[in-house]
Amino acid sequence: MIYFDNSATTVPYPEALRTYQEVATKIFGNPSSLHQLGTSATRILEASRKQVAELIGKSADEIFFTSGGTEGDNWVIKGVAFEKEPYGNHIIVSDIEHPAVKESAKWLSEHGFEVSYAPVNEQGFVDVEALAGLLRPDTILVSVMAVNNEIGSIQPIQAISDLLVNEPTISFHVDAVQAIGKIPVSSYLTDRVDFATFSGHKFHAVRGVGFVYKKAGKKITPLLTGGGQEKDFRSTTENVAGIASMAKALRLVTDKEEFSLPKIAKMKKIIFDELAKYEDISIFSGEGEGFAPNILTFGIKGVRGEVIVHAFEEHQIYISTTSACSSKAGKPAGTLISMGVPTKLAQTAVRISLDDDNDMGQVEQFLTIFKQVYAKTQKVR
């Protein structure tokens, strides 16, 4: 079995699973309880918070645990909008954001807010000048992802940070779900970024846990009210075992970056160079600087992406038709449409997303099977 769908989810590290099991079975108390099991759970919770903060270069009091990227995006987009509504009602998001951001913005547009969408160029990068032209006196929030989940384009977060440096009333949110462990944290957690969202299962933790970075002093309205956990910002009993597992996974993936990223980039280049030999293959992801080292999206002209996905599945090779959310909905990649790719061509797109768990042997096997799959498509076209 070859798993090349790591942008959809990753296999939990064995060490992260062991941490989860140990905490879940031995330190299972509610952190809000006053007895020893509760205080032990609190110690694990806060130690995990401190470790996560250190690994991304921030302070522990700026880390807030969530159930994952979707909750984090919803909280930041809606929570900032509600908090800053007295000062303005205009929000800007890029046109290639994950549905968790775009749907949150759409929901706000149905509840009295105005939403503008920053366009991207033909390569899938946000047009910073166009974004600048959208800024208004009543703009309260800008949200741009760090790495696009469908083609891997690394967004110009530093340039946008520079644009907003003299706009202190505008909050800047970065969806970093696809970035952590793939590009340097410093490239997207700039000093100007006020909020960032992360999801554990994208970097080998268990599912159902994530975190939000909230710059100290920045205000946001909570979505979940109740018992006052997470400093009154997210009321629900904390998933201590999941959080500890995530902290462990983040430590492991961070420690591996120096060696894993060049390896992943090399695997991507080998596949990229092979695909580039075919005249009727469109490669939508760039190779090298400007693109994440793990994501490669391409299409065989005239062949729908799901046909390719199932053809590889017959050989126990697992890839996807761009994002997991778009795949289930049966929609072409929204990023490609925003880039100006014709709908029929966008419908051919499939995404390979690599990880340190993969190796050169798997790449060679993939390319061998690809030749067989490609040959079959030529017979039925």
**Per-residue pLDDT in tens (0 to 9) along the chain, 381 residues:** 999 999 999 999 999 999 999 999 988 877 767 788 778 888 999 999 999 999 999 999 999 999 999 999 999 999 999 999 999 999 999 999 999 999 999 999 999 999 999 999 999 999 999 999 999 999 999 999 999 999 999 999 999 999 999 999 999 999 999 999 999 999 999 999 999 999 999 999 999 999 999 999 999 998 777 776 777 677 576 899 999 999 999 999 999 999 999 999 999 999 999 999 999 999 999 988 899 999 999 999 999 999 999 999 999 999 999 755 555 555 678 999 999 999 999 999 999 999 999 999 999 999 999 999 999 888 765
Check residue 85 and give its pLDDT. 95
Rounded distance between C-alpha atoms, residue 81 and residue 141, angstroms: 7
Amino acid symbol at 283 = I
DSSP secondary structure of 182-236: TS-GGGTS-TT--EEEEEGGGGTS-SS-EEEEE-TT-----SB-SS-TTTTTB-S
Rounded distance between C-alpha atoms, residue 68 and residue 216, angstroms: 21
Two structure tokens written together for 283: 């490669």
Check residue 31 and give its pLDDT. 73
Check residue 325 and give its pLDDT. 56
Task: Name, in order, each residue with C-beta under 8 angstroms of 249's C-beta and a sequence gap of 6 or more.
Answer: 12, 13, 15, 16, 200, 203, 204, 205
CA 48 to chain centre: 21
Residue with tokens 């980039």: 265
Q: 305 catalytic, yes or no?
A: no
Check residue 324 and give its pLDDT. 54
CA 134, 170, 220, 241 dihedral sign is: positive
Domains and CATH numbers, the chain: 2-9+257-373 (3.90.1150.10), 14-251 (3.40.640.10)
Two structure tokens written together for 258: 């120096």
Rounded distance between C-alpha atoms, residue 27 and residue 243, angstroms: 13
Rounded distance between C-alpha atoms, residue 118 and residue 127, angstroms: 7
Catalytic residue among 325, 337, 345, 369: 325
Check residue 38 and give its pLDDT. 78
Tell me the CA distances in angstroms from 142 to 92, 121, 285, 362, one per residue in order: 5, 18, 25, 40
- The H or E element spanning position 341 is none
* Other beta carbons less than 10 A from residue 354's beta carbon: 28
Rounded distance between C-alpha atoms, residue 124 and residue 335, angstroms: 7
- Whether the CB-CB separation of 142 and 92 falls below 8 Å is answered with yes
Phi, psi of 99 (to 5 degrees): -55, -30
Nearest to 191 by CA among 94, 62, 11, 345: 62
Check residue 222 and give its pLDDT. 86
